Amino acid sequence: MVQHSGTPPERAFEITGATPDGAEAVLAVKDASWREAYAHLLPAAFLAGGLGDSPARTERWRRFLAPESPGRFALVRFRGRVVGFAGAGPARDDDAPAEEELYTVYVLAEMHGTGAGRAVVERVLADRPASLWVFEDNPRARAFYGKLGFVPDGARHLDEIGGATLPEIRMVRGARGDA
């Protein structure tokens, strides 16, 4: 078990590698995290039922978590249950400011403040320069990424999700050309 400094022992967690058989658990955390984090951004009807469990979605995540995938994924486990995950790998933007991209990080609200988010990001990204995309109106996530050394680089785009148009900003740390 990993214990964040100042975290009571009953809140200890572990970070493990992700494998394709964890796809359902990853999707459960992702969906719950969306409901917790994006209620102010996305329509309630979409969050209530629009995320969808489907064999195709599960299979897509099994491929993401496969050893031959270009991405690296890790899980946060608390008392044996998956409560978070992160994934990173080669940057996907044509104008990527770094070779690596932090693709995804979700940790259930019950684990906020325990160090689980930082630990799972360190597992998949270490201290490598990287970029990421985050909803502009997501102050908690932006503050979390800021603590990890990420800053907005001025890139912005719109994402259509669940009938809403949401601006995203790119954040980077250790970008090419930085001193």
Name which of 131, 117, 97 is nearest 4 in CA terms: 117
Instruction: Enter the pTM of the model.
Output: 0.91
What DSSP element (H or E) covers 80?
Answer: none
Name which of 67, 56, 53, 50 is nearest 161 in CA terms: 50
Coil, helix or strand for 39?
coil
Q: What is the pLDDT of residue 124?
A: 98
Q: What is the pLDDT of residue 6?
A: 53
The greatest distance separating any two alpha carbons of the chain, rounded to the nearest whole angstrom, comes to 46
Instruction: Compute the radius of gyration of the chain from its Cα atoms.
Output: 16
How far, in Å, CA of 75 to CA of 33, rounded? 14
DSSP 85-131: EEEEEE---TT-SSSEEEEEEEE-GGGTTTTHHHHHHHHHHTT--EE
Tell me the Ramachandran region of residue 26: left when phi exceeds 0, alpha when psi lies from -120 to 50, beta otherwise.
alpha
The domain 9-173 belongs to what CATH superfamily? Gcn5-related N-acetyltransferase (GNAT) (3.40.630.30)
In the chain (179 residues long), the average pLDDT of successive 10-residue segments reads: 53 93 95 95 88 86 95 96 98 96 98 96 97 97 98 97 95 74
Distance of CA 76 to the CA centre of its chain: 11
Q: What is the pLDDT of residue 179?
A: 41
Place of tokens 């978590």: 65
Q: What is the pLDDT of residue 153?
A: 97
How far, in Å, CA of 18 to CA of 61, rounded? 11
Distance of CA 174 to the CA centre of its chain: 19
